[in-house]
Structure 1
Amino acid sequence: MPDIRPIALAAPRRGTGLLVFEYLDATKNETFYRPLGGGIDFGETAEQAVRRELREELNAELLDVRLLGVLENLFHAFGRPGHEIVFVFDCRLADQSLYTRDVLGEIRDDPGTKVMWLPLDSFTPDRPLYPAGLADLLR
């Protein structure tokens, strides 16, 4: 039986833009977008996890971290079902230079996964933002 995975995501904004990574689910031939973040380790708070994940993925420190909400995400991706409890955090990036570039590079531990700022209104059913319900939470 698969587990329910608790994750923490950072949602820094640049005007109307959201910091996301782009990924391809080849099993569905779908390119999708998601904010950076990841799993919460045992004994770690969701806020500690989101701070750790941004250091690992982007070598970025976060300021003014504040919980926006919690989403339950039931999905099918990469050929298997998934179930996540998603803690979404509003925050700012400490390094102001990260706000000056449209594309920030790649996730450090996942080469080839592009990190970029995209307008919140650019996500559509053909260009989805995951997890489901995130765009509504951020509006």
Structure 2
Amino acid sequence: MTTHRIRALALCIFHHDGKILVNEARDPITEKPFFRPIGGGIEFGETSAQAIVREVHEELGLPITDVRLLGTLESIFTYNGTPGHEIVQVYDAKFVDASVYEVSHLNAQESDGAAFVAKWLPWTGFTDEAPLVPDGLHELLKKVSILD
């Protein structure tokens, strides 16, 4: 029997000129695409803010500054046929190197070594068929005036 657990997660909203930096993924069973901001699991003994700095460095190899908590979301979902439950700390931050905002994408790497491409996508690019996740993120970004 599989033991289900709640996962603590930290995500960071990098935004510039009406675009947000996201990783595009696809559910292997439904084939439905979705977009998630950069970030990952919070490790035992680290704060969620420390997790953001670590995750961005691990995934993109870039330093960040001005890290601030925007809010917390609770996400209950199904991925690859398995139920998931996450408590998500959502942060805003800036890249130290401003030239990052001028490229269309960044080559990135998951902690398991899997490569991915982080892309700058416009807010209008997210739909019900290709949503920004976790649920409630769009509304949170509107509430804190990051998203118009």
TM-score bin, normalised by smaller chain: over 0.9
Q: Which residue number in structure 1 is paired with residue 133 of structure 2?
A: 130
**2:79 aligned to 77, 84, 94, which one?**
77
Q: Which residue number in structure 2 is paired with residue 110 of structure 1?
A: 114
Q: Which residue number in structure 1 is paired with residue 88 of structure 2?
A: 86
The alignment's C-alpha RMSD in Å is: 1.1
Q: Secondary structure at the match of 1:73?
A: strand
1:63-83 superposed Cα distances (whole Å, 9 cap, x missing partner)? 100000000000000120000
Q: Which amino acid aligns with 2:35?
A: Y
TM-score, normalized by length of structure 2? 0.89
Runs (4+) off by over 6 Å: none
Determine whether 1:61 maps to 2:63. Answer: yes
Q: Which amino acid aligns with 1:76?
A: T
- The 1-side partners of 2:108 and 2:65 are apart by 21
Number of residues of Structure 1 aligned to a counterpart in Structure 2:
138
Structure 2 gap ranges (5+): 143-148
**2:17 aligned to 9, 15, 24, which one?**
15
Q: Secondary structure at the match of 2:100?
A: helix
1:65-111 superposed Cα distances (whole Å, 9 cap, x missing partner)? 00000000000001200000000001101121211111112335321
- The 1-side partners of 2:55 and 2:108 are apart by 14
Q: Which amino acid aligns with 2:79?
A: A
Sequence identity of aligned pairs in percent?
43
Q: Which amino acid aligns with 1:10?
A: C
| Offset, 1:25 | 1.1
TM-score, normalized by length of structure 1? 0.95
Determine whether 1:121 maps to 2:124. Answer: yes
